[in-house]
Each structure stands twice: as structure tokens, then as C-alpha cells.
Amino acid sequence: MMTDTAGNKWLCAELPVVDYLQILELQRQLVDARRIEIINRDIVLLLEHPPVFTMGRRGGLVNLKVSRTFLEKLNIAIIQTDRGGNITFHGPGQLVVYPIIDLQAAGMQVSDYVASLEEIMLRVLAGWGIPADSNPANRGIWIGNSKIGSIGIAVRQGVCYHGFALNVNLALNPFGWIHPCGFKDIGVTSMQRELSHNVSINQVRGAIKRHLESYFGVKLISTTLPELKNFITSNEQTNLAEKEASERSGL
């Protein structure tokens, strides 16, 4: 078990471009590890995804404007997931942030947590001089009628996962193949489009980490994917040993 002995610290894994399904499975494993305190700290993953469309619990295929065959030719998958929301697009140049947070331990309501993720994005954008707004009726971050940041979360036994996606230098054309988030009359924008120049992904990563620390009053402790998987594997081995011991005692 990993215990926190030096104040309020979160584990932070900064990853490159990683397959969506791989990260989805990792999140679910981390939720279980966090829930039973194999990992006794909250965790945040920062990464990008290869091009992929994901659908939330509200569905989304009805909001797909192109055929599956068209997407298959481009090697772009459509994945049903368990987060909130509708259909959206992820791709390189979009920073995705997945906090795995024990909301009950943090004393936070889901609505307050969602608002806090929006505030993180607003503060990051303000650092680049980009004015934006949140809208409680339509979650996410908006510049006029165009969305620049999306939020979709899920909660399992008090532990929250999934998170938010901020468009930095993301190619926006694929959003034209869907009704983003189920809306037929909105646009999608990026930091690059608003500023008319590329923005350093690494600088945005740094800003997100700083604002996570300042807003939640935590310190991010760097970790790696192998270290996280080691905690998960240790948990699975412990569970297997306990199961085998139980079966032997029943013989």
C-alpha cells in the first residue's frame, strides 16, 4: 500500500500519445486500487490520444455525420465508453487530463468537482490571454459559440475518473464529421486557432499541473506508467493469493 506521509500529494503520470482503450483499462484498474487503498493517494494522468471518436453514456452514433466505412479507411475507431456526455473527438494536439479522485475522501460533490475542472481550464487559457467561459447548462469551456474544452466523468463507488480535454494544437476537421457533444449548432476551436500560432504542449502541461496544485491545494509527485502498473499487479497478485488460500481452507 502506498501511504501519504507528507501532506496532501497526488501521483502524476505524464504520458505521450497513448491508445484510448489502454488508458481506459488503466483508469478502471486505478479506480479499484484507489478505492481499496492499494494506492492511498489520488492520481492524475496527462496525455494525448491517437485519433479516436468516443461516445459517452448519452450515446452519440446519431450525431455521427460520416459512415463507419469512411472512418475505418482512416483507421479511426469509434469507442463506447462509460463517461458522461455524448460523442467527441480526441487526437494529437489535445491535452487530456484524467484525475482519479476519491471524491468522498475529498469531501466534494460531483457538481463541485466538475466546476473545479472547468476552472482549471479557464485559468490555463487566461495564462495565454484567451478569454473563455463555462456554462452550467452545457458543461465545458466555451469561446462564444465554440467549444475549446470538454468534460466527461464517471464515478465508481465514490472514486471519480475520466476528466477533461483541452484543445491546444488539435486538428479540428474531424469535429466536422460529428455534431460535437450532440449539439448541431456549435463550433469547435483550439488555442492555436485563437492565437493564430502553435502553442507548446509542454508549456500547457506545465500550466495544468501548476493550476491543479494551486486550486486543489496539493503537490503533484511524478510517477511512471510502469510504477502504476506495478501497484495494480501487486494488488491482483494479493487478491489471487487470498482467493487460493480461501479455496484451500475450504477443502
Active site members: 181
Distance CA 159, CA 34 (A): 8
* Cα–Cα distance measured from residue 120 to residue 166, given in angstroms and rounded to the nearest whole number: 10
Q: Which residues in 73-92 are b (16+ Cβ under 10 Å) and which e?
A: eeebbbeebebbbbbbbbbe
CA separation for the pair 242, 248 (Å, rounded): 10
- Give the separation between CA 19 and CA 192, rounded to whole angstroms: 24
CA 231, CA 39: separation in Å to the nearest integer? 7
The x, y and z cell numbers of residue 89, run together, are: 473527438
Cα dist from 110 to 56, 113, 139, whole Å: 17, 5, 13
Distance, in Å, from the CA atom of 51 to the CA atom of 170, rounded to the nearest integer, reads: 10
DSSP calls for 17-78: E--HHHHHHHHHHHHHHHHTTSB-S-EEEEEE--SEEEEBTTB-GGGB-S-HHHHHHTT-EE
